[in-house]
């Protein structure tokens, strides 16, 4: 059982079984690698609830393979910001995905849910677990892209700079693709970009 002191009360075996049957093999491997990275970052940066960081890693992309209809229904059901209907899976799987996680696992821990909510878009105000998950998702052992090594070094030297580095690269990537950028991603960029200097 994960740390019940954290109020999470969910058995690792049950969770892994559910994830294995819900996610593609590739994404199942990804979430386990994010959990490992999050655990290591938690220890390094003195985040005491190490098992919560690990659980955040395991759960963060749980909703990623749900259909658009599922997210649209959740947006209506929970009366979320109607602007969300103008976005897609990339934004929904975190921001809306936490409602599916609450429904399917009965998880209520606000800190855990918040970290998963913003794991793709970040926030201008991020707590330690938020930063750990955001960065762990980017640097997990299976990631192979230009700049990942620099991101891995920064993650252990200066966590705010690692948040900034990732956000700059994501915004640059999206602009190059000529796709819309979610406003909260821009707020994250503005809040953290100076941390690289």
Positions touching ligand GDP (CB under 6 A) are 61, 64, 90-91, 94, 119-121, 137, 170, 173-174, 179-182, 185
d(C-alpha 177, C-alpha 179), whole Å: 5
Q: Tell me which of ligand GDP, Fe ion, none is bound by residue 41, counting a contact when its beta carbon lies within the kind-specific cut-off of 5 to 8 angstroms.
A: none
Instruction: Give me 121's structure tokens.
Output: 């878009």
Task: Report yes or no: 31 and 58 within 8 Å, Cβ to Cβ.
Answer: yes
Q: Which is nearer to Fe ion, 78 or 145 (CB)?
A: 145
DSSP state of 93: H
**Phi, psi angle pair for 11, to nearest 5°:** -80, 140
Minimum CB separation of residue 58 from Fe ion in Å reads: 11
Q: Tell me which of Fe ion, ligand GDP, none is bound by residue 182, counting a contact when its beta carbon lies within the kind-specific cut-off of 5 to 8 angstroms.
A: ligand GDP
Minimum CB separation of residue 47 from ligand GDP in Å reads: 20
Minimum CB separation of residue 10 from Fe ion in Å reads: 19
Q: Tell me which of Fe ion, ligand GDP, none is bound by residue 140, counting a contact when its beta carbon lies within the kind-specific cut-off of 5 to 8 angstroms.
A: none
Q: Which is nearer to Fe ion, 61 or 117 (CB)?
A: 61
d(C-alpha 166, C-alpha 77), whole Å: 33
Q: Which residue is nearest to Fe ion (CB)?
A: 137
Q: Which is nearer to ligand GDP, 61 or 117 (CB)?
A: 61
Q: Tell me which of Fe ion, ligand GDP, none is bound by residue 43, counting a contact when its beta carbon lies within the kind-specific cut-off of 5 to 8 angstroms.
A: none
Minimum CB separation of residue 5 from Fe ion in Å reads: 27
Q: Which is nearer to Fe ion, 4 or 104 (CB)?
A: 104
Q: Which is nearer to ligand GDP, 123 or 185 (CB)?
A: 185
DSSP state of 5: G
Which stretches of the chain bind Fe ion, using CB under 5 A?
61, 137
SS (H, E, C) 137-174: HHHCCCCCCCCHHHHHHHHHHCHHHHHHHHHHHHHHHH
d(C-alpha 64, C-alpha 172), whole Å: 23
| DSSP codes of every residue in 80-108 | --GGGGGS-HHHHHHHTHHHHHHHHH---
Question: What count of residues does the chain have?
Answer: 197
């Amino acid at each position: 059982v994960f740390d019940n002191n954290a109020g999470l009360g969910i058995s690792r075996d049950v969770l892994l079984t559910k994830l294995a049957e819900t996610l593609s093999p590739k994404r199942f491997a990804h979430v386990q690698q994010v959990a490992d990275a999050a655990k290591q970052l938690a220890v390094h940066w003195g985040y005491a609830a190490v098992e919560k960081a690990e659980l955040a890693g395991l759960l963060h992309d749980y909703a990623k393979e749900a259909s658009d209809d599922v997210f649209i229904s959740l947006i209506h059901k929970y009366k979320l910001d109607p602007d969300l209907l103008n976005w897609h899976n990339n934004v929904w799987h975190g921001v809306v995905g936490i409602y599916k996680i609450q429904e399917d696992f009965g998880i209520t821990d606000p800190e855990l849910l918040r970290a998963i909510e913003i794991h793709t878009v970040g926030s201008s105000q991020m707590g330690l677990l938020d930063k750990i998950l955001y960065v762990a998702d980017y640097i997990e052992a299976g990631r192979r892209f230009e700049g990942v090594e620099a991101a891995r070094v920064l993650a252990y030297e200066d966590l705010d700079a690692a948040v900034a580095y990732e956000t700059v690269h994501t915004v640059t990537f999206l602009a190059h693709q000529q796709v819309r950028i979610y406003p909260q991603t821009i707020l994250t960029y503005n809040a953290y970009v100076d941390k690289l200097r």
